[in-house]
A = this chain, B = another copy of it.
Amino acid sequence: MSATNTGVPPTERDPSGHPEDCPVREVLDRVGDKWSVLIIVMLGRRTHRYSELDRAIEGISQRMLTLTLRALVRDGLVERTVHASVPPRVDYALTELGRTLLEPLTALDHWANRHRDDIRAARERHDRQQG
């Protein structure tokens, strides 16, 4: 992956112009919501149970935690394991597929860390010129 990619077409599958079924967007539609990435990142560290995620992610509602987990399970990114015990215990972990997603997300994470100051600077510069 070259560092200087001037004119590298990110998607080759639509030379006609309008990338309607653009694969990047397809992922972002699934994972670009408010909580999915956060959960994936958490599960990337280790397996968590429901209540752990609930407490760790702070700000998420039970509703959204459930819905997001369900969607991730449905897409085969997360695996749900119910332990038949009392009190009940449910573990969530990344699947093999989910772990492969961690890689490009890490790339994005690195970009964010490297350039967050650039963005802040650009934003301030822009805002100072014309509120």
Which positions in A face B, CB cutoff 8 Å? 1, 3, 5-11, 13, 17-20, 22-28, 30, 32-33, 37-38, 41-42, 44-46, 55-59, 73-77, 97, 99-113, 115-116, 118-119, 121-123, 125-127
Contacts and interface: CB of A to CB of B under 8 A. Distances in A.
Contacts of A127: 74
A33 B34 CA distance: 11
B76 A118 contact: yes
A23 B116 contact: yes
Given A25-B38, A37-B24, A37-B25, A122 B109 contact: no
Give this chain's copy count: 2
Contacts of A107: 1, 103-104, 107-108
Given A9-B44, A19-B42, A101-B111, 4 more contacts: A7-B44, A17-B55, A23-B113, A76-B119
Given A27-B111, A104-B111, A45 B9 contact: yes
B112 A58 contact: no
